[in-house]
Structure 1
Amino acid sequence: MPSLLGIDNGLTVTKAVVFDIDGTPLSVARRRVPQLMPQPRHVERDMDGLWLATAEAIAEAIAGSRRPANDVVAIAATAHGDGIYLLDADERPLGPGILSLDSRAGTIADDWAAGLVAQQALALTGQMPHTSAPSALLAWIKIHEPERYARIAHILSCKDWLRYCLTGAIGTDRTEASTSFTSVADQTFSIDAMRLFGLEKLYSALPAVAGSAEIVGLVSAAAAKLTGLTEGTPVAAGLHDVTASALGIGGHKPGVVAIVAGTYSINEVVSDRPKVDPRWFCRNAIEPGQWNNMAISPASAANYDWFLDTLCQAEHQKAEASGQSVHALLGPEIDAALTRPSTAIFHPYLFGSPYGSAASASFLGLRGWQDRGDMLRAVLEGIAFNHRVHIDALRDGFDVREARLTGGASRNPAFAQMFADILAMPVTVTATEEAAAWGAALCAGAGISIFASPNDDPRNLDGMQQTYRPDTDRSTAYQTRYELFRDIANALQPLWPRIDGLTIEGDAP
């Protein structure tokens, strides 16, 4: 029976998912991919190691599907966006891949924001350059690693590297192409954009652009040997994981704000015309003549994961020993905290924020009689508040009629209800375990005409989703807390650089 393979590579884990063509996941295999942090603000990974880990996951997923490898009729990959993966003239990795959590180019992005470059970039490309954008990272490499810069022959994203490893074909898709260098008006690469960032000599290193559902290559003999895939299997161009996640939950369409609560706070609305604003990125959607308006920051559920890893180790061990979920073990603490008043407020800026690279996380309002449950509640509220910052911006620009939520935390009913109450709008959670991988698989299926288009989802979405509706009283209470959350963040803006400056010299007092 025909099946589809969707590859989803995040910032720490690479996954391979085999789907039946009706959308049913048949098997999932995961491999952790170590992050390399050779110095502060540098977050990288070994590119060959990433491919080998992904190949292992593919082989395990095929075996786990209990179907022969030649049942996989098409493949597509999705992966974290931004960051950068470079190849030299021999098509070999030119140093490690740089992840979107990397902030080495923060000073460059800040300098652009203080001058004219950022506003010119907004008008031309539809987005303000940020610290992990390819534009800022390439500008950093040009200054600090000129020998590496001079050898750049191909500029790729993460999923483009995986596609190359599968097929030997170099290229990208429309969604990934628009991370820095496309004209927002005509949605194609612009030499003026490269010139604006001082990168015009690299214009020829930009990859060819295909549609996300366009077949761009076939599985090579070498890739087939490593993965167990059948040589010659069609591979589609794939897409940025933000877009893939929205597609996988039925949220990549006008009038819907798709929310991904993962490492990043991702909030996106599709429009049929470009609308630029410094509060969001106006990037290419899957289809020509549509734009994906993304308001994002690296400040979402990764904060919750950090709290669990740092302060809930005993519960992690208990959960592993008993086969339970650590989230289920901690649920009663959170539920109890939600029933009582709390002064605790958390700003979820452990890894980044909407306020620039100097912002940092903090608890405020903690009292001696409060416990870990109050802190967990504050972390979850802070995550949802940060999403609201972005969603409020999008609601200023677009007619948003519904919200769809995905991400690991969305499976927690209390957290989903919290989103509805904080946003004061209905929030729908679709029972899609691997939304981004399914979004990639939809592109693969459309590429070989199993589906009419990537939006032709064969599943009955109405029968596999739950909608959480806001409670008026709770929404009113959250409005007060949200306004205080925003006021504190605004008050801290002049202090964050001073706090950040405490570690610049690296000397202990």
Structure 2
Amino acid sequence: MSRFLLGIDAGSSMTKAAVFDRDGAEIASSTHRVVLHRPRPGWCETDPVAAWEAARAAIKGTLDKAGIGSDDIAAVGISAAMVGAWLVDASGEALRPGIIWEDSRAQEMLDRRAAEDPDFYHRIFQEDGCVMQQGCTLPLVAWLRRHEPEIVDRAAHIFSYKDFLRMKLTGQAAADRTEAAVAPGDARRSGRSDAMLDLFGLADIAHKLPPVRDSESLAGTVTAEAAAATGLKEGTPVAIGAGDVPSTVTGASALEDGMALAVLGTTCIVGVVSDTPVFTPPDLGLLFTLPGEAWFRAMVNVAGTLNLDWAIETIMAEAARDPGVFAKLDAMVSAVPVGSDGVVFLPYLSDSGIIAPIVDAQARAGFHGLTPRHGRAHMMRAVYEGVVLAIRDLLADLPDIGDTLLLTGGGAKSHMWTQMIADALGKTVHVPAGTEFGARGAALLAGTAIGWFPSIREASISTRRIERSQNPAPSAKPAWDAAFANYRKYRDKAIAAR
């Protein structure tokens, strides 16, 4: 009897696979890097051959680590970085490099459309609830149609990343609601939008976008060729799957109305799950369609742990390769009081600027309030605090989250950072057990598809396991309120200067 589920989560630069038992407990995982290519300014692409090789190797590596055979895998689920554009022929072979969501080649085209039609971006938001991002599928396809028309003509299917990987596994072309709704699409109907296809001049090639299906439905089974490549058993069921954010919400056991979740990874996302789509505040943030007829209203600080990685490499370069660097950081940062003695770091460390609390493609990170008396301990503390205060800033534009927050991502590993978040927000922070929540969400979708769970919501909630909880220290509130006021002062100055 098959005892386990396999989840695949292909990020922009790392592909992970993990095995889970019926309770959602992680048994083993394997990670393989995928090199991003930036052949021109603003372009961000992945070699499809390398992408499939990373997925294949991650699957084999996970099975080996878990010490299980192909017969032990009951079903496979897939998640990946959302939107982008992967153009393939009828057999699933890529016709060009896959374009990743970070790609900005379509921005000039979007700016031109917005100049011609001042309501352009608002019309998109009214349909899908998201601030328009240049790496979304429809603007990319519109750009390709203008600059690489022969490729678009030859394409049988236009995919997102996970749909490409799923076709490599099953030979079947399909898409899911979580991706279609943000292509941009129709958030209310959780699918494609004829209005958006018309807006981008793509209605006549809509047939190249695969049929949209529920994430927790079956897509097909592992082919003989894929079985030989991955070590999976031919005929193993494969679920449709979902994009990385919806899969992470599902895998973090957050698929419950009113549940708040923060993902402190390379990007920092904070959002609230609801049973109805939320379009307020207008023209700000993102609205993700989730499996199980739910939505995730989210605000995003484009750079999350990336800020800390950069600071370590730049400010503490001599310790960057030291395996004990984080213990040293804890000691250094803990010695500086809340507020970093007046130093503020705005964590807008991204070439694409920010999309919350305002939309500003030119916003950039920076230190403020530095004087000769400040040293790198103040600067490092300010980086930690900058991300924490950005989370507090983002929450101001979301529905009330109550007294608790689920926290996942690499940043959740830091007890010190987690306590900072609890103190700054005045809320209890729960860190779920596990690490690969995107893969876990994909696995739970697969388990639901084969009947292990009555619904994907039941799968998500019933497998919730909290590793630790950190409560806010009431005595810390005045200091954090003052730090937040100082942060907002410099944030507002930076915005006004734009």
Question: Does TM, scored on the shorter chain, surpass 0.5?
Answer: yes
Match of 1:431 in 2: 433
Name whichever of 412-421 and 181-190 sits farther off. 181-190
CA distance in 2, matches of 1:257, 1:11: 25
* CA distance in 2 between partners of 1:475 and 1:254 (Å): 28
Residue aligning to 1:78? 79
Residue in structure 2 matching 1:372, options 373, 376, 387: 376
Distance 1:69 1:226, change over 3 A: same
Give the secondary-structure state (helix, strand or coil) at the position aligned to 2:397. Answer: helix
CA distance in 2, matches of 1:87, 1:401: 47
Q: CA deviation at 1:217?
A: 1.0
Alignment pair present for 1:281 and 2:286: yes
2:408 to 381, 406, 409: 406
- Residue 132 of structure 1 corresponds to 135
Question: Residue 336 of structure 2: SS of its match in structure 1?
Answer: helix
**Which residue number corresponds to residue 388 of structure 2?**
384
Equivalent residues of 2:9, 2:439 under 8 A apart: yes
Corresponding residue for residue 175 of structure 1: 178
Q: Quote the Cα distance in structure 2 between the aligned partners of 1:442 and 1:364.
A: 45
CA RMSD of aligned residues (A): 2.3
TM-score by length of structure 1 reads: 0.89
Q: Would you say 1:190 and 2:189 are equivalent positions?
A: no
Cα shift at 1:199? 2.4
Task: Give, in whole Å, the separation in 1 of the partners of 2:345 and 2:338.
Answer: 18
Task: Please tell me whether the aligned partners of residues 14 and 33 of structure 1 are also in contact (alpha carbons under 8 angstroms).
Answer: yes
Partner of 1:429, secondary structure, is strand
For the structure 1 residues 226 and 399, does the alpha-carbon distance in structure 2 shift closer, same or farther, using more than 3 Å as the test?
same
Local SS of the residue matching 2:421 = helix
The alpha-carbon distance between structure 1 residues 118 and 17, as it changes in their structure 2 partners (threshold 3 A), is same
Q: Secondary structure at the match of 2:191?
A: coil
Report whether the alignment pairs 1:12 with 2:26: no
Are 2:471 and 1:466 equivalent residues in the alignment?
A: no
2:32 aligned with 1:31, yes or no?
yes
Secondary structure of the structure 2 residue equivalent to 1:299: coil
Question: Where do 5+ consecutive residues of structure 1 fail to align?
Answer: 497-509
> Structure 2: how far apart are the matches of 1:458 and 1:255?
14
Contact 2:217 2:240 (C-alpha < 8 Å) held by counterparts: yes
Question: 164, 169, 173: which is aligned to 2:167?
Answer: 164
Q: Is the partner of 2:485 in helix, strand or coil?
A: helix
User: Is structure 2 residue 301 aligned with structure 1 residue 301?
Assistant: no
CA–CA distance in 2 between the matches of 1:179 and 1:431? 29
Cα distance, 1:402 vs structure 2: 2.9
Moved more, 139-148 or 51-60: 139-148
Change beyond 3 A, Cα 1:309–1:78: farther
CA contact (8 A) 1:279 1:390 kept: no
Matches within 5 A, 1:433-452: 433-452=435-454
Please list the CA deviations of residues 360-416 of structure 1 after superposition, one character each: whole Å capped at 9, or x if unmatched: 211122233323222221112222222233222112xx5655311100111111111
Cross-structure match for 1:504: none
TM-score w.r.t. length of structure 2: 0.91
Report the AA paired with residue 472 of structure 1.
P
Amino acid at match of 1:318: D
Identify the residue that residue 141 of structure 1 maps to in structure 2.
144
Q: Distance in 2 between matches of 1:185 and 1:457?
A: 24
Gaps of 5+ in 2: none
CA shift for structure 1 position 488:
2.6
CA distance in 1, matches of 2:94, 2:103: 18
Q: Secondary structure at the match of 2:16?
A: strand
Instruction: Output the CA distance in 2 between the equivalents of 1:237 and 1:231.
Output: 17
2:81–2:162 Cα contact (<8 Å) kept: yes
Deviations 1:253-302 (A, max 9, x none): 111111101122212222222221322323322123x3222222422112
Partner of 1:117: 120
Pairing of 1:232-381 with structure 2 (within 5 A): 232-276=235-279, 277-288=282-293, 290-319=294-323, 324=324, 326-338=325-337, 341-351=340-350, 352-354=353-355, 355-381=359-385
* SS in structure 2 at match of 1:317: coil
Deviates more, 1:37-46 or 1:347-356: 347-356
